[in-house]
């Protein structure tokens, strides 16, 4: 598995983070806004951890600002938003521009999971979201999708 993030040396990643558990990459997961449905994101967090990713699940009620900050501080390869309240376009757009402001747009890939209507998937892709996992996909497919992102070029 490709390490994905080519900026490892200048990003200040400590050697400890290259221990076997983190070899596949660092994923920050968060639930933005007030949506409390966290059954899916917790399952994804566990599965990614089991697959060898280093997972930082920020929990509920996160602001886009806090998520962007965590992406920077945690030197994330992937940021995953879980949204089941229909607010995915709003929060994705907000997050993408905050990542841009922090110069992370090309280093961090954003993925979105949750109750996403089919017609919103192209809209999310246009915003720069690398992958969308609508409710109903298998957790193993989410893990595979994220693994694939680790090796793929920026969208």
Q: Which residues bind other proteins (CB under 8 A)?
A: 33-39, 41-43, 45-46, 57-61, 63, 85-87, 90-91, 115, 117-119, 134-136, 138-140
130-141 per-residue burial string, b: 16 or more CB within 10 A, e: under 16: bbbbeeeeebee
Residue among 11 and 21 whose Cβ is closer to other proteins: 21
Structure tokens at 5: 């993030």
Nearest distance in Å: CB 36, other proteins: 3
Do 59 and 30 touch, CB atoms closer than 8 A? yes
Nearest distance in Å: CB 12, other proteins: 26
Nearest distance in Å: CB 153, other proteins: 26
**3-state DSSP of 54-80:** EEEECCCCECHHHHHHHHHHCCCCEEE
Rounded to whole angstroms, how far apart are CA atoms 31 and 105? 20
Residue among 1 and 117 whose Cβ is closer to other proteins: 117
Nearest distance in Å: CB 49, other proteins: 9
Residue among 81 and 107 whose Cβ is closer to other proteins: 81
């Amino acid at each position: 598995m490709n390490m994905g993030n080519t900026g490892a040396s200048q990003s200040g990643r400590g050697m400890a983070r290259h221990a076997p558990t983190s070899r596949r990459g660092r994923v920050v997961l968060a639930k933005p806004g007030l949506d409390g449905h966290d059954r899916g994101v917790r399952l994804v967090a566990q599965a990614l951890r089991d697959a060898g990713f280093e997972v930082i699940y920020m929990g509920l009620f996160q602001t886009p600002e806090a998520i962007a900050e965590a992406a920077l501080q945690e030197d994330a390869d992937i940021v995953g938003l879980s949204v089941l309240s229909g607010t995915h376009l709003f929060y994705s757009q907000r997050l993408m521009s905050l990542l841009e402001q922090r110069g992370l747009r090309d280093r961090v890939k954003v993925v979105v999971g949750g109750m996403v209507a089919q017609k919103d998937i192209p809209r999310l892709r246009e915003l720069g979201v690398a992958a969308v996992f609508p409710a109903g996909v298998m957790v193993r497919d989410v893990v595979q999708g994220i693994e694939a992102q680790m090796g793929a070029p920026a969208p």
